[in-house]
Amino acid sequence: MELKEKIVSSYLAFENDVDINSEIHDIRTEAFHNFEKLGFPTKKLEAWKYTSLNSVLKNDFSIFPNKENAIEFADVKKYFIHDIDTYKVVFIDGKYSSFLSDTTHDGKDVCLMSSALSKSKYKAVIENYFNKIAKQDNLTSLNTAFANEGAYIYIPKNVEVEKPIQIINFTTGNDAATMVQPRNLIVVEENAHVQIIERHQSLTENAVLTNVVTEIFSAKNSTVDYYKIQNDKDNASLVDNTYIEQKTNSVVSVHTFSFGGNITRNNLNFYQRGEHIDSILKGITIIEGKQHVDHHTLVHHIEPNCESHQDYKGIFDARSTGVFNGKVIVDKEAQKTNAYQQNNNVLISDKATINAKPQLEIFADDVKCSHGCTIGQLDEDALFYMQQRGIPKKEGKALLMYAFANTVLESVKIPEVKQRINKLIATKLGVNIGFDL
């Protein structure tokens, strides 16, 4: 059976498990019909011109792993940022793992979507925010149709969360190929501050397809630091749909580190609804083999006096493919916008491919918008210089690549995350040197 049919026919089964009389379910049902109509995206869609999911969709995914799978902390410790204290919301095959999690309701809510959707205590927030900015496109609709579990984070006014929050989704793939669809909702009220680290990790070689949707609402004067660490197994594919709405004076930054996985598609959307907003989108992609990473960003400048900064660096080896599709829209009302977009790529293999499409759509005249996109090689002179000073070529190359990517790391605010990324880069580049330049 084709995956789409399988999904469509499993919707009835899904309805057995959820409250079908809730308003949320009306939203699900509408989204379900939307997906039924649209199906999976194909390369014919301009937005999917350079990324095909066909090879992934061929898998016979199990959509509802019914067995509860337990895992030992010791086995997965390495996937956590474990050297500092954090809140944790952990899922195994889409099901909440209380054993691995560390949630809270103390002055804020760091807990589960499933309970937020069902308990009256959360009703107001859910009504105000759930599915309010997520698009009606193919895969977001698919996620919404089955939205039930994920992280729910609510930070009230003036609360500065004292430690980072980790959201980790494990897939065991013990039985078969698995598809999971986490749904996260993050609401950060006025003047509040939160740091979040998100990770998707499969634990076996079986195929995985994760189709995650995250909605983030950042109210006046709030700050959100979001880190996505993507270093999954070769057979795990990820479609990450993140939607962010910002209000006046808020600062939201999203760093995406893509080092692993099979096909990774990051749809990152920012909507600026207020003035003096700063949106920061950064990413490092270092891939090899047949890996494919596609960054699809949108920054929509709706009101005046806001800024956005995009900086994506990519290093592509072997037969890997990188895609960068960055779009900046500046509405007529959004005067005095400053929008910057940089995408720099290095190809280190003859078989690697990069496709870039940095777009500007500008309807206001008093703005400063620029984008730059380069594809090039490492500086051979610099490499020679290093070799001359005794640094072996491989290490020299790694250092140069690190330096190339470093502009993205500069703005990482959690030192442990930075260390982790440094380590991952070193591993990825096959060298054993510290990068703390």
Partner 1 sequence: MSKYTEEDLEQELKTKEYEYGFYTDIESDTFAKGLNEDVVRAISKKKNEPKWMTDWRVEAFRVWEKMEEPDWANVNYPKPDFQELAYYSAPKVKPKLDSLDEVDPDLLETFKKLGISLEEQKRLANVAVDIVIDSVSVATTFKKTLGEKGIIFMPISEAIQEHPELVKKYLGTVVPTSDNFYAALNSAVFSDGSFCYIPKGVRCPMELSTYFRINEGGTGQFERTLVVADKGSYVSYLEGCTAPSRDENQLHAAVVELIALDDSEIKYSTVQNWYPGDAEGKGGVFNFVTKRAICETNAKVSWTQVETGSAVTWKYPSCILKGNNSVGEFYSIAVTNHYQQADTGTKMIHLGKNTKSTIISKGISAGKSQNSYRGLVHVGARAENARNFSQCDSLLMGNACGAHTFPYIEAKNKSAQIEHEATTSKIGEDQLFYCNQRGIDTEKAIALIVNGFSKEVLNKLPMEFAVEAQKLLEISLEGSVG
Contact positions vs partner 1 (CB under 8 A): 46, 332, 335, 345, 347-377
Nearer to partner 1, 71 or 360 (CB): 360
The sign one gets for the Cα dihedral 84, 88, 91, 95 is positive
Nearer Cβ to partner 1, position 25 or 336? 336
Q: Are 353 and 321 in contact (CB under 8 A)?
A: yes
Other residues' Cβ atoms within 10 Å of the Cβ of residue 423: 12
Give CA–CA dist 79/254, Å, rounded: 19
Residues 6+ away with beta carbon under 8 Å from 99: 70, 73
C-alpha atoms less than 13 angstroms from C-alpha of 394 in its C-beta half-sphere = 8
Smallest separation, CB 45 to partner 1 (Å): 12
| Residue written as token pair 């209000």 | 247
Interatomic CA distance for residues 114 and 95, integer angstroms: 10
Q: How far apart are CA 146 and CA 400, in angstroms?
A: 45
Residue 191 to residue 155: CA distance in whole angstroms = 10
Whose structure tokens read 């605010």?
A: 413
Considering the complex, state which of residue 9 and residue 374 has its C-beta at the smaller distance from partner 1. 374
Q: Which residue bears the tokens 């900086």?
A: 311
Cβ partners under 8 Å of residue 207, min gap 6: 56, 59, 61, 173, 177, 178, 235, 236, 237, 262
Q: Cβ of residue 380: shortest distance to partner 1, in angstroms?
A: 11
CB of 378 to partner 1, least distance (A): 10
Q: Tell me if 156 sits within 8 A of 190, measured CB to CB.
A: no
For residues 26 and 39, give the distance between their C-alpha atoms in angstroms, rounded to a whole number: 20
Strands 263-272 and 292-301: parallel
Nearer to partner 1, 130 or 324 (CB): 324
**Which of 105/332 has CB closer to partner 1?**
332
Name the helix (H) or strand (E) containing 175.
none
* CB closer to partner 1 out of 139 and 356: 356
* Residue 289 C-beta: closest distance to partner 1, Å: 16
Query: Residues 170, 90: contact at Cβ < 8 Å?
Result: yes
Closest distance of CB 281 from partner 1, Å: 17
Q: Select 377 or 427, whichever has its Cβ closest to partner 1.
A: 377
Q: Please, are residues 313 and 285 in contact by the beta-carbon 8 Å criterion?
A: yes
Q: Kindly state the smallest distance separating residue 135's Cβ from partner 1, in Å.
A: 20
Residue whose CB is less far from partner 1, 265 or 327? 327
Cβ proximity to partner 1: between 18 and 348 the closer is 348
Min separation Cβ 111 and partner 1, Å:
43
CB of residue 346 to partner 1, shortest distance in Å: 8
Least separation in angstroms between CB 345 and partner 1: 8
Quote the tokens at residue 41.
């995206």
Question: Which residue, 106 or 350, has its beta carbon nearer to partner 1?
Answer: 350
Task: State the virtual CA torsion across 51, 204, 422, 166 in degrees, nearest 10.
Answer: 90
Nearer to partner 1, 364 or 403 (CB): 364
Least Å distance, CB 396 to partner 1, is 18
Instruction: Give the N- to C-terminal CA distance of the chain in Å, as an integer.
Output: 53
- Closest approach, Cβ 372 to partner 1, in A, equals 5
- Phi, psi for 371 (deg, rounded to 5): -140, 150
